[in-house]
Amino acid sequence: MILPVAAVLFLCFVAENSIEAWSALHVERTLGAPAGQGGFGPTMLGLTMGVARLGGHYAVTRLGEIGLILWSVALGTLGAAVLAAAPTPIVGMAGIALMGLGVAVVVPTANSILGRLVRPDQRGQAISRAWMIGFTGFFLGPVMMGQISEVVGLRAAFAVIAVMVALIAPFVLILRARGG
């Protein structure tokens, strides 16, 4: 049970911190925004994640935990793809907003699923192990982005992020098969 959740956390944290760390540079250098406007990228991510988390409880009552994560993954994947292909800074910001709305509830909801699927006396240990594995994505994501962008550019690096967000879905389906 721990490994599918750890994979979800890892992939989500890679995406979150990569967008936060690299979106400003992408908006300014690749999309041509004036100096200083790139800072709106991480701001947009934070604002939209905050809004999505405020509405997460309502959404989970409508969609269920698995449904919420799958819809979130679709939205996050679309957002990262829009950011990768954006022709203008405004379109790039829209991609960042979609990404923030998409990934915001994935980690909290995956934690909830894990907590429900393990025995009460194993919850703390299971969640801490999943986080130990998953949170490495928070640190590795920006490094990976830098390496990829050095070779093929930021557009391709953000396209890789779109693929990584999409890869969350199979792990969520594993959780569903196990009773999530």
| Average pLDDT of the segment spanning 69-93 | 98
Write the CB contacts of 37 (distance below 8 Å, at least 6 apart in sequence). Answer: 27, 28, 89
Is pLDDT at 68 greater than 90 in this prediction?
yes
**Tokens at 89, concatenated:** 């800074």
Please write the tens of the pLDDT for every residue from 85-138: 999 999 999 999 999 999 999 999 999 999 999 999 999 999 999 999 999 999
Residue owning tokens 């909801």: 109
Q: Is the pTM of this model over 0.85?
A: yes
Domain-wise residue ranges, the chain: 2-177
> CB atoms < 10 A from the CB of 68, how many?
21
**Tokens at 145, concatenated:** 């982005």
Which CATH superfamily includes the segment(s) 2-177?
MFS general substrate transporter like domains (1.20.1250.20)
